């Protein structure tokens, strides 16, 4: 199996998730060439030893594995399939790994375009938010061929605690939609519970601690409720990005003639939160919109 000395990495995207993820590869000894929209965003990685690339194509030149971690499907299309995209320069036998949460059909389109060039392609979205990215404990859901997955596994192992091959091209993205559907209504429930506790005059931190040990316990409750209590609504995952994911899931549901009313309601609530100016905050900032709707004040509060 390849090790960090043998695999050269091209990395595209240095946002909240991409920056620490790429940092783990550098810390593990992988040679990395990095591209981001502005060089300033890549500065922490350059200080760790990454080499700067002026375009996604430049990052892909000579790379064994090229990872893209950007915001929206249109960004994926640009950095992978565009004139200066990864596939314009990736060498035969290279492996492209798109870790953006994106559209399953786009993953299939990229897979087919890569196949024509002799390049392996994997769709590999992740779950775990900024905490998982910083701690290298992400859940990585992969779609593609087994032999290509095996080539990229040394990279995945430095980024995640759970790495599963879900099936062929697009299966990683479909699995991420399953994840987002499960989270969406649950996050609404967490935020509503906190608003209720506030209105009832409870010791909110103690209430959260109590219910976390029972059937109400969840990753979102344990990780986001304490942030909300500190008045910390910085994005581990932005509301606007979550809306993008919910839109993809609903589009896939319509294509499959599925009725998912809980998902549709969650999307509407998050759209309202974004319209109220919360789109660049973390997904738990839905609490602020729900609190305002009920006339509940929520600031920096720890009872």
E strands present in 108-200: 120-123, 126-127, 138-143, 160-167
Which position among 92, 117, 145, 176 bears the catalytic label?
A: 176
Is-contact 32 9, C-beta < 8 A?
yes
Helix axes 261-273, 286-294, angle to 10 degrees: 80
Among residues 125, 88, 83, the alpha carbon closest in space to that of 103 is found at 125
Q: What is residue 95's DSSP assignment?
A: E
CB 134 within 8 A of CB 20: yes
Distance CA 284, CA 143 (A): 29
Which residue matches tokens 């609490």?
287
H/E/C letters for each residue in 225-236? HHHHHCCCCCCC
Rounded-to-integer distance, Cα 184 and Cα 244, Å: 12
DSSP state string for 4-29: TTT--EEEE--STTHHHHHHHHHHTT
Question: How many CB atoms neighbour CB 74 within 10 A?
Answer: 12
20-45 as b/e: b if 16+ CB within 10 A: bbbbbbbebebbbbbbbeeeebbeeb
What three-state secondary structure class fits 2? coil
Asked if 92 is an active-site residue, the reply is no
Q: Exposed, middle or buried by CB within 10 Å (0-12, 13-18, 19+), for 144?
A: buried
- The residues annotated as belonging to the active site are 176
């Amino acid at each position: 199996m390849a090790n960090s000395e043998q695999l050269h990495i091209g990395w595209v995207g240095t946002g909240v998730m991409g920056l620490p993820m790429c940092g783990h590869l550098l810390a593990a000894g992988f040679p990395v060439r990095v591209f981001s929209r502005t060089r300033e965003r890549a500065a922490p990685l350059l200080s760790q030893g990454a080499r700067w690339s002026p375009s996604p194509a430049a990052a892909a030149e000579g790379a064994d594995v090229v990872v893209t971690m950007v915001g929206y499907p249109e960004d994926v299309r640009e950095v992978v399939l565009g004139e200066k995209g990864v596939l314009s320069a990736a060498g035969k036998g290279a492996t492209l790994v798109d870790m953006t949460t994106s559209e399953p059909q786009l993953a299939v389109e990229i897979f087919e375009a890569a196949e024509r060039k002799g390049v392996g392609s994997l769709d590999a979205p992740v779950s775990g938010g900024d905490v998982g990215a910083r701690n290298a404990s992400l859940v990585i859901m992969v779609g593609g061929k087994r032999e290509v997955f095996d080539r990229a596994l040394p990279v995945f192992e430095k980024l995640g605690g759970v790495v599963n091959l879900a099936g062929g091209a697009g299966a990683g993205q479909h699995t991420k939609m399953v994840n987002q559907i499960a989270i969406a209504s649950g996050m609404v429930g967490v935020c509503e519970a906190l608003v209720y506790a506030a209105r009832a005059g409870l010791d909110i931190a103690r209430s959260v601690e109590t219910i976390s040990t029972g059937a109400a316990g969840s990753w979102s409750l344990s990780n986001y409720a304490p942030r909300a209590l500190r008045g910390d609504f910085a994005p581990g995952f932005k509301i606007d990005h979550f809306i993008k994911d919910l839109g993809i899931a609903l589009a896939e549901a319509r294509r499959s003639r599925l009725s998912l009313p809980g998902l549709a309601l969650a999307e509407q609530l998050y759209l309202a939160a974004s319209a109220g100016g919360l789109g660049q905050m973390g997904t738990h900032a839905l609490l602020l919109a729900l609190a305002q709707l009920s006339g509940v004040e929520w600031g920096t509060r720890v009872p």
